[in-house]
Amino acid sequence: MNKLGRKLGSPKIFFFTAIWLLVILVVGTIAQKFIGLYQSQNLYFSSWYIPLDRLLFFWTNDAPSIPMPMPGGRLAMAVMFINLSAKLTFGTKLELARLGTFIAHAGGLMLLIGGFITAYYSKEGSVMLYEGEQAAYFDDYHKLELALIDTSPADHDAVTAFRNEYVRPGAVIEDEGFPGTIEVLSYFRNVDVYKLEGEVPADYKGMAQRFSIQGTDLNPQSERNRAGMSLRVSGLDDVENGVYILLQHMQVPQLLSAAGRTYQLDLRNARYPLPFGIELLDFKKVLYPGTTKAKSYSSDVNVVSGDLKRQVSISMNEPLRNLGYTFYQASFVEGNEGEASVFAVVQNAGRQFPYISSLIMSFGLMLHIFLRLMKHIKKGSRV
């Protein structure tokens, strides 16, 4: 065990993993120019493996496919974590003289743990509110969901959101209470929409009667991609059974009637409920005198918990932090319906880790320097 542990904790592993991380960092950073920040992050930094062709030909999507997986950023950091753990457990003599480096390495481990928590736990999204409007949710920036919404209850909508493997071709969706079955026929992360010409099949329903979708290349700017999917609904009556089209950001709801209830189908950004509500009271914009350039934005909001309301102000440098969620003033909209404020919302259980681990590493390094200094002083006094 000790032998295996010492091998796992070999500094060589750390050395080559760090070099590999540098390679990924350089390629991924340059690739951002061609495929955008989000895609690059997913492909190079958040992945367990990277296809070799994406490392060699990172500037083009038309490169020949080379079916050889190379370690991705996540795998490299996992190897680094195991290596550091093994090194500290089996490879370090725990003497006082090495206490500083021990603590510094432990800080590094904690930093990696924080990274993993952030990678899996964190949620990032946004919510837009018009003045007077209230919401108790936020929408993910990138992840999508297919929502089956029972709009029949008088006082609320009953939402069942299907994510991950359900937003893929071939997925079959069934929900308790919904008498039909929904099969995902096709799904594209970015689509072009075409007007249907000629005779339309009788089982095409809703928007599918007038339009068709076709997958297209991803836009480097992730938010400019509009997903689309086609679905086959079965198990209901002939009026409702058929093929439907859903598009991300589609303002026209696709409705189904079943068993005396009305259901809405929606392909949308994954929506996360908040344990409290946010009500926008007033959005304020201050311009530089004589210009239309904004000097500052701020929003007065109510944080609503049950019957309790707490008024706070969110401005560009003063986010609202509540129950693990942070709201940043991100943008605003001035439209026909009035002024709206856009908040970036982040939930990250690992956000304290970089601070704490940095402190630990700093303390460890300072202790190491101090102990070394003392050793030299001690040696000098003997001489």
Contact call for residues 307 and 317 (beta carbons, < 8 A): no
| Contact partners, residue 116, CB within 8 Å, separation at least 6 | 77, 81, 350
In the complex with other proteins, which residue's Cβ is closer, 12 or 195? 195
Q: Which of 264, 326, 348, 358 binds other proteins (CB under 8 A)?
A: 264
Q: Residue 53 or 277: which CB sits closer to other proteins?
A: 277
Residues binding other proteins: what is the number (CB under 8 A)? 61
Q: Per CB under 8 A, does 378 bind other proteins?
A: yes
Does 157 participate in binding other proteins (rule CB under 8 A)? yes
Task: Name every residue whose Cβ is closer than 8 Å to that of residue 47 and which is 6 or more positions away in sequence.
Answer: 72, 73, 74, 75
Least spacing, CB of residue 208 vs other proteins, in Å: 11
Of the listed pieces 10-18, 38-46, 247-255, 288-296, which binds other proteins according to CB under 8 A?
247-255
CB 331 within 8 A of CB 342: yes
Nearest one of 204, 206, 200, 259 to 235, comparing CA atoms: 259
Integer Cα distance of 273 and 306 in angstroms:
15
Window of 45-53, 114-122, 217-225, 284-292 that interacts with other proteins by CB under 8 A: 114-122
| Residues 137/159, Cβ–Cβ less than 8 Å | no
CB neighbour list of residue 178: distance below 8 Å, 6 or more residues apart: 148, 150, 160, 258, 263
373 φ/ψ angles, rounded to the nearest 5 degrees: -60, -45
Q: Which of 128, 161, 281, 365 binds other proteins (CB under 8 A)?
A: 161
User: Applying CB under 8 A, which part among 48-56, 113-121, 214-222, 294-302 lies near other proteins?
Assistant: 113-121
User: In whole angstroms, what separates CA 294 from the centre of its chain?
Assistant: 29
Closest CB to other proteins among residues 69, 338:
338
Q: Is 27 helix (H, G, I), strand (E, B) or coil?
A: helix
Query: Going residue by residue from 304 to 343, which x/- string records binding to other proteins, judged by CB under 8 A?
Result: -------------------------------xxx------
3-state secondary structure 43-85: HHHCCCEEEHHHHHCCCCCCCCCCCCEEECHHHHHHHHHHHHH
Identity of the residue, 4 or 30, whose beta carbon is nearer to other proteins in the bound complex: 4
Binds other proteins (CB under 8 A): choice among 8, 110, 144, 231: 110
Q: Which residues bind other proteins (CB under 8 A)?
A: 81, 85, 88-89, 92, 94-96, 99, 102, 106, 109-110, 113, 116-117, 120-121, 136-137, 145, 149, 151, 153, 155-166, 193, 195, 207, 210-211, 226, 228, 247-253, 255, 262, 264, 273, 335-337, 374, 377-378, 381
